[in-house]
């Protein structure tokens, strides 16, 4: 057992947990509910500036 | 759906109430469409936000109902080339089932995410142990693994525990019972090992098992989720509301749920009825194909009863509502459909059928291992470890993946070829079907009137006819325009085109008046259009509902697959006879929805497994009751929702293609089961011998899963 492990293991776990939290945030904010749309939206030019999203999640209507 | 949002926002000084409407826009197909729809709507007065859901082909609009109503929103879109209609669900039960399904899918995704995180981190710790870490270090690493694994098993194991408990409580068993027992026993045993500072802990095995199995579940659920989005996008065809005439004579749009018996609805030409009612003003020509499947439009006069879902073709009419909400005939049919569908939910999927044989064998082997080592006087602890190793290594990792992976790959292949599969069990049931029942209107035929021939029209007449027909949305005009377009006709330069409801189209062409209107039908139940150019004699164009292209070839291919066919139609005897003779099939005519349902029940009692192909609302109960069912994408929304598969395009060749793909999937699934059995034949003796360390278990489980996935990928070409 080296002292390094005492830091490295919590860091590794912390990074993993951070990723997990990010995944859950994305899941909750509905980012997995319209995958085809997300693939398309990247192609939209936002030259005309009027792409205001709805308040909250639009897909739970 | 159109209810005010909870905590409806007040904007500015006025009491603006934000309402959310959902419109289905089937025509969206690119990024440009998304941007255009959202910008168009956002730019309208009274709209506060619009967000497209592309998978569902729908848009959610937050708007102020006092400034802009739903028909205006629809018009805004239609003026810019997007056909749109409000989304309607048949009843509250279907709606909440949708919500529950979406929530279950999110739960599975979250469980998969947690299991992925945990299995990676535990693997990280396990690698050090496998590399020879011993003593205190190993104990600490085991405790760390336990700290990650126990919450993970509780969280990610829920879908399995719930399902297993549900089955056990009803005295049944399914795939989830051995999974749950293995996961719980392995975790418990590993905790004991950790506490007693033993050399082996199987936390990685338990969590990896959950990860692989959840992968299979998520794939299965994704397939259903995709189809669900597709189905609800298609729900738009019936009216979600109506213009109600109030005491002052003004017409105001109301949602279907707000209509009361006695209200007077103003139904414009081209609109569907939202409630059952009596015609009180005007003569109506009604397209009731959605209810009866009959192609010919029917004339109704004052005092006759009209049903929700009927399409008003010609002139605006007034209808006094009689039956609303759940009392409507359409809702009755929906209930019949749901009852019929219960039969399907009792279907036992192939994985669960396999589990019935698998579970007792595995548990017997584990018990045998335990007893064997006890007899050999190895002690209770060592014997229990062997039993746990047997349970873990035989645990149906490959079995849990065998079915969903094969079905997802096959349904992806089918989707690319224009067939939407609702869920995995649909493929299993389709592969088992041994006969086909076909509806006539809209299934064998295109369900839209087309000209019998264009021979009566010369070159100039064709151009004029196309110019007039393409400006109208009347079904007859659309059919004519379509076949003229297909014939390569160029529209003539007709100006001042106007449509008179109930009469037809008129315009000016080279200084002459040209008209296209209803003509006298030549034969019984036929339809016709009449074209007049200037003072010349009017030409009559006979219209009829034609057979789908390659119908005969597709039916021959079905026969070659060992599936005899029969026609069952709600249409009159004459029309059905004609099609039946053309295709050489036995037929039943004038069958109402109950008769179709009864025929399927009778065939089922004879032990036949019926594949129902139909499109109308009148086919709904039959589609739901049949062993498997397919609907064309031109079908009524109810038909599409009841069917297991939906095919795009006009060709009936989709039917044999779907059957072939389903059978091929079933062969690959059986092949996967065989691979899993071979794997177990090798792995079980090793486990019984006590040679399965956590490292061996991890390698064996991953490699067996990979082999099964690789075998399933052969189905990429299943839909050829």
Q: Tell me if B40 sits within 8 A of A22, measured CB to CB.
A: no
The better pLDDT of the pair B719, B263 is held by B263
Question: Which residues, other chains included, contact B608 with Cβ-Cβ below 8 Å and sequence gap of 6+?
Answer: B434, B435
Closest to B284 in 3D by CA, of B257, B311, B324: B311
From B403's Cα to the closest Cα of chain A, the distance in A is 24
Q: Tell me if B25 sits within 8 A of B57, measured CB to CB.
A: yes
* Other Cβ atoms closer than 10 A to B196: 9
Q: Which chain B residues are closer than 8 Å to A58 by Cβ?
A: 49, 51, 53, 60
Query: What is the C-alpha separation between B213 and B387, in angstroms, rounded?
Result: 21
Residue to test with chain B: of A6, A8, A30, A37, most B Cβ within 10 A: A37
Q: State yes or no: pLDDT of B5 exceeds 50.
A: no
**Mean of pLDDT values over B654-683:** 90
Which residues of B, range 78-117, sit inside 8 Å of A by Cβ?
A: 102, 106, 109-110, 113-114, 117
Instruction: Determine what percent of chain B is predicted with pLDDT higher than 90.
Output: 12
Q: Tell me if B77 sits within 8 A of B27, measured CB to CB.
A: no
Note whether residue B557 is domain-resident: yes
What does the H/E/C string look like for B233-259?
HHHHHCCCEEEEECCCCCEEEEEHHHC
**Mean of pLDDT values over B202-231:** 80
Q: Residue B651's pLDDT is what?
A: 84
Q: pLDDT grade, residue A34 (50/70/90)?
A: confident
- A19: closest chain B residue by CA: B117
| CB burial string B232-250: b at 16+ within 10 A, e below | bbbbbbbbbbbbbbeeeee
Say yes or no: B555 and B643 in one domain.
yes
**Mean of pLDDT values over B453-460:** 79
Closest to B681 in 3D by CA, of B209, B350, B357, B365: B365
Q: Does A53 touch chain B (CB under 8 A)?
A: yes
Say yes or no: B591 and B538 in one domain.
no
Residue entry with tokens 């065998």: B402
Q: Look up the domain containing B260 and give its range.
A: 239-273+276-323
**Mean of pLDDT values over B364-373:** 90
Q: State yes or no: pLDDT of B295 exceeds 70.
A: no
- 3-state secondary structure at position B280: strand
Tokens standing for residue B219 = 């794939």
Q: Residue B111's pLDDT is what?
A: 94
Q: Tell me if B530 sits within 8 A of B508, measured CB to CB.
A: no
- CATH number of the domain that residue B498 is part of: 3.40.1110.10
Q: Does A40 touch chain B (CB under 8 A)?
A: yes
**Mean of pLDDT values over B320-348:** 73
List the single residue in A13, A51, A52 with the smallest CB-CB distance to B121: A13
Q: State yes or no: pLDDT of B154 exceeds 90.
A: yes
Q: pLDDT grade, residue B443 (50/70/90)?
A: confident
Q: pLDDT grade, residue B118 (50/70/90)?
A: very high
From A57's Cα to the closest Cα of chain B, the distance in A is 9
Q: Which chain A residues are closer than 8 Å to B56 by Cβ?
A: 34, 59
Please give the backbone phi and psi of residue B402, each rounded to the nearest 5 degrees, phi first.
Answer: -50, -50
**Mean of pLDDT values over B381-386:** 86
Note whether residue B311 is domain-resident: yes
Closest to B662 in 3D by CA, of B652, B654, B673: B654
Name the least confident of A14-28, B120-134, B151-165, B396-410: B396-410
Closest to B527 in 3D by CA, of B579, B468, B450: B450
Q: Residue B124's pLDDT is what?
A: 86
Which stretches does DSSP call E strand in B94-172? none
Say yes or no: B619 and B651 in one domain.
yes
What does the H/E/C string look like for B650-665?
CCCCHHHHHHHHHHHH
**Mean of pLDDT values over B697-702:** 85
List the single residue in A20, A33, A34 with the smallest CB-CB distance to B114: A20
Residue entry with tokens 């693994």: B145
From B148's Cα to the closest Cα of chain A, the distance in A is 9
- CATH number of the domain that residue B296 is part of: 2.70.150.10
Name the least confident of A34-48, B478-492, B555-569, B623-637: A34-48
Question: Which residues, other chains included, contact B505 with Cβ-Cβ below 8 Å and sequence gap of 6+?
Answer: B468, B469, B471, B472, B477, B497, B498, B499, B515, B516, B517
Domain ranges of chain A: 10-46
Q: pLDDT grade, residue B702 (50/70/90)?
A: confident
- Rg of chain A's alpha carbons, rounded to an integer? 19
Query: What is the C-alpha separation between B541 and B532, in angstroms, rounded?
Result: 11
Note whether residue B582 is domain-resident: yes
Q: Tell me if B75 sits within 8 A of B41, measured CB to CB.
A: no
Q: State yes or no: pLDDT of B93 exceeds 80.
A: no
Closest to B242 in 3D by CA, of B287, B208, B277: B277
Note whether residue B23 is domain-resident: yes
Q: Which chain A residues are closer than 8 Å to B55 by Cβ?
A: 33-37
The better pLDDT of the pair B695, B343 is held by B695
Which of B18-22, B347-351, B406-410, B455-459 has the highest mean predicted lDDT (pLDDT)? B406-410
List the single residue in B55, B62, B136 with the smallest CB-CB distance to A54: B62
Strands B527-533 and B539-547: antiparallel
Residue entry with tokens 């007709």: B494
Question: Which residues, other chains included, contact B578 with Cβ-Cβ below 8 Å and sequence gap of 6+?
Answer: none
Q: Residue A55's pLDDT is what?
A: 47
Query: What is the C-alpha separation between B666 and B602, in angstroms, rounded?
Result: 27
Tokens standing for residue B612 = 């129902």
Q: Say how many Å lie between the first and final Cα of chain B, rounded.
A: 41
Among B263, B439, B637, B644, the one annotated catalytic: B439
Which residues of B, range 116-175, sit inside 8 Å of A by Cβ?
A: 117, 120-121, 124-125, 136-137, 140, 144, 148
Note whether residue B232 is domain-resident: no
Q: State yes or no: pLDDT of B488 exceeds 50.
A: yes
Q: State yes or no: pLDDT of B714 exceeds 70.
A: yes
Q: pLDDT grade, residue B146 (50/70/90)?
A: very high
Note whether residue B618 is domain-resident: yes
Say yes or no: B575 and B623 in one domain.
yes
Average model confidence (pLDDT) for chain B?
Answer: 81
Query: What is the C-alpha separation between B428 and B343, in angstroms, rounded?
Result: 15
Are A53 and B22 a contacting pair at CB < 8 A? no
Query: What is the C-alpha separation between B532 and B467, in angstroms, rounded?
Result: 13
Residue entry with tokens 């064709």: B462
In the residue annotation, B439 being an active-site residue is answered as yes
Note whether residue B99 is domain-resident: no
Say yes or no: B581 and B608 in one domain.
yes
Say yes or no: B521 and B561 in one domain.
no
Determine the Cα angle at B401 with ends B395 and B407, to 5°: 150
Say yes or no: B513 and B456 in one domain.
yes
Query: What is the C-alpha separation between B349 and B426, in angstroms, rounded?
Result: 10
Q: Tell me if B546 sits within 8 A of B445, measured CB to CB.
A: yes
Q: Does B11 touch chain A (CB under 8 A)?
A: no
pLDDT, tens digit, 9 for 90 and up, residues B230-239: 554 434 445 6
Q: Tell me if B499 sits within 8 A of B469, measured CB to CB.
A: no
* Alpha-carbon distance values, B702 to B120, B212, B699 (Å): 13, 8, 5
Q: Considering B87, B113, B130, which residue would you say is the last residue of a domain?
A: B87
Q: Tell me if B270 sits within 8 A of B313, measured CB to CB.
A: yes
Name the least confident of A4-13, B29-38, B91-100, B386-395: B91-100
Q: pLDDT grade, residue B191 (50/70/90)?
A: very high
- A25: closest chain B residue by CA: B110
Say yes or no: B469 and B439 in one domain.
no
* Alpha-carbon distance values, B412 to B29, B78, B425 (Å): 19, 32, 15
Are B55 and A32 a contacting pair at CB < 8 A? no
Q: Does A33 touch chain B (CB under 8 A)?
A: yes
Q: State yes or no: pLDDT of B501 exceeds 90.
A: no
Query: What is the C-alpha separation between B95 and B104, in angstroms, rounded?
Result: 14
Q: pLDDT grade, residue A60 (50/70/90)?
A: very low
Query: What is the C-alpha separation between B621 and B634, in angstroms, rounded?
Result: 18
pLDDT, tens digit, 9 for 90 and up, residues B254-287: 877 788 888 888 888 777 788 888 888 777 878 7
Are B60 and A43 a contacting pair at CB < 8 A? no
Residue entry with tokens 């826009």: B25
Residue to test with chain B: of A6, A50, A54, most B Cβ within 10 A: A54
Q: State yes or no: pLDDT of B142 exceeds 60.
A: yes
ipTM: 0.70
How many structural domains is chain B composed of? Answer: 4
- Helix B329-345 vs helix B92-130: crossing angle, to nearest 10: 30
The better pLDDT of the pair B69, B428 is held by B428
Please give the backbone phi and psi of residue B306, each rounded to the nearest 5 degrees, phi first.
Answer: -110, 150
Are B55 and A61 a contacting pair at CB < 8 A? no
Q: Tell me if B710 sits within 8 A of B402, measured CB to CB.
A: no
Q: If you count residue pairs, one on A and one on B, with CB atoms under 8 Å apart, how many are there?
A: 89
Query: What is the C-alpha separation between B165 and B176, in angstroms, rounded?
Result: 9
Q: Considering B628, B646, B662, which residue would you say is the last residue of a domain?
A: B662
Q: Residue B700's pLDDT is what?
A: 86
Query: What is the C-alpha separation between B526 and B449, in angstroms, rounded?
Result: 9
Please give the backbone phi and psi of residue B17, each rounded to the nearest 5 degrees, phi first.
Answer: -105, 120
Q: State yes or no: pLDDT of A61 exceeds 50.
A: no
Note whether residue B593 is domain-resident: yes
């Amino acid at each position: 057992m080296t002292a390094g492990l005492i830091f490295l293991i919590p860091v590794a776990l912390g990074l993993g947990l951070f990723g997990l939290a990010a995944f859950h945030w994305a899941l909750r904010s509905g980012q997995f509910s319209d995958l085809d749309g997300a693939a398309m939206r990247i192609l939209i030019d936002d030259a005309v500036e009027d792409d205001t999203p709805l308040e909250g999640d639009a897909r739970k209507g | 759906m159109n209810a005010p949002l909870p905590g409806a926002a007040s904007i500015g000084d006025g009491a603006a109430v934000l309402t959310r409407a959902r419109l289905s826009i089937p025509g969206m197909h690119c990024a440009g469409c998304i941007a255009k729809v959202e910008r168009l709507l956002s730019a309208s007065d009274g709209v506060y936000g619009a967000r497209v859901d592309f998978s569902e082909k729908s848009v959610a609009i937050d708007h102020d109902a006092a400034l802009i109503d739903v028909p205006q929103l629809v018009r805004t879109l239609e003026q810019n080339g997007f056909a749109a209609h409000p989304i309607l669900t048949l009843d509250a039960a279907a709606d909440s089932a949708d919500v529950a399904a979406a929530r279950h899918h999110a739960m599975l995704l979250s469980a998969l995410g947690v299991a992925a995180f945990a299995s990676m981190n535990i693997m990280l710790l396990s690698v050090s142990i496998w590399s020879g870490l011993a003593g205190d270090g190993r104990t600490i690493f085991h405790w760390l693994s336990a700290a990650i694994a126990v919450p993970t098993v509780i969280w990610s194991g829920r879908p399995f525990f719930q399902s297993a408990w549900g089955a056990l409580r009803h005295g049944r068993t399914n795939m989830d019972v051995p999974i749950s027992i293995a996961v719980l026993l392995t975790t418990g045993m590993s905790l004991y090992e950790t506490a007693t500072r033993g050399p082996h802990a199987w936390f990685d095995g338990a969590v990896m098992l959950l990860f692989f199995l959840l992968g299979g579940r998520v794939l299965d659920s994704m397939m259903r989720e995709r189809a669900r989005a597709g189905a609800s996008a298609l729900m738009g065809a019936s009216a979600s509301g109506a213009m109600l005439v109030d005491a002052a004579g003004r017409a105001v749009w109301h949602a279907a749920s707000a209509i009361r018996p006695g209200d007077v609805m103003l139904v414009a030409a081209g609109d569907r009825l939202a409630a059952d009612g009596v015609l009180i003003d005007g003569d109506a020509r009604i397209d009731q194909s959605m209810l009866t499947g009959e192609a010919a439009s029917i004339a109704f006069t004052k005092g006759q009863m009209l049903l929700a879902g009927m399409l008003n073709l010609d002139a605006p009419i007034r209808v006094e509502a009689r039956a609303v909400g759940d009392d409507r005939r359409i809702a009755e049919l929906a209930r019949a459909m749901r009852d019929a569908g219960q039969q399907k939910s009792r279907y036992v999927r192939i994985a669960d059928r396999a589990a019935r044989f698998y579970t007792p064998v595995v548990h017997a082997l584990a018990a045998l291992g335990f007893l064997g080592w006890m007899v050999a006087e190895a002690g209770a602890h060592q014997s229990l470890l062997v039993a746990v190793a047997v349970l873990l290594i035989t645990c149906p990792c490959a079995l849990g993946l065998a079915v969903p992976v094969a079905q997802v790959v096959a349904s992806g292949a089918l989707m690319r070829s224009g067939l939407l599969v609702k869920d995995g069990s649909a493929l299993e049931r389709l592969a088992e079907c041994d006969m086909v029942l076909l509806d006539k209107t809209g299934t064998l035929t295109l369900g839209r009137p087309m000209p019998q021939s264009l021979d009566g029209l010369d070159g100039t007449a064709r151009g004029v006819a196309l110019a007039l027909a393409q400006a109208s949305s009347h079904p007859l005009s659309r059919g004519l325009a379509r076949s003229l377009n297909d014939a390569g006709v160029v529209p003539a330069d007709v100006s001042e085109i106007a449509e008179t409801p109930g009469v037809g189209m008129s315009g000016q062409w080279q200084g002459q008046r040209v008209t296209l209107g209803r003509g006298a039908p030549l034969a019984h139940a036929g339809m016709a259009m009449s074209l007049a150019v200037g003072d010349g004699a009017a030409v009559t164009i006979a219209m009829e509902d034609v057979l789908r292209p390659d119908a005969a070839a597709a039916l021959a291919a079905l026969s070659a697959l060992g599936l005899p066919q029969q026609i069952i139609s709600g249409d009159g005897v004459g029309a059905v006879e004609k099609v039946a003779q053309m295709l050489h099939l036995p037929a039943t005519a004038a069958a109402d929805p109950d008769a179709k349902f009864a025929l399927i029940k009778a065939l089922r009692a004879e032990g036949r497994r019926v594949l129902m192909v139909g499109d109308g609302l009148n086919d709904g109960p039959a589609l739901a009751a049949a062993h498997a069912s397919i609907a064309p994408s031109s079908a009524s929304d109810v038909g599409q929702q009841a069917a297991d598969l939906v095919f795009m395009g006009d060709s009936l060749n989709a039917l044999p293609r779907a059957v072939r793909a389903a059978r091929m999937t079933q062969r690959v699934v059986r092949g996967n089961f065989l691979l899993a059995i071979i794997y177990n034949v090798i792995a079980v003796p090793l486990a019984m011998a006590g040679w399965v360390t956590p490292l061996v278990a991890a390698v064996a489980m991953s490699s067996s899963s990979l082999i099964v996935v690789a075998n399933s990928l052969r189905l990429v070409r299943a839909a050829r």
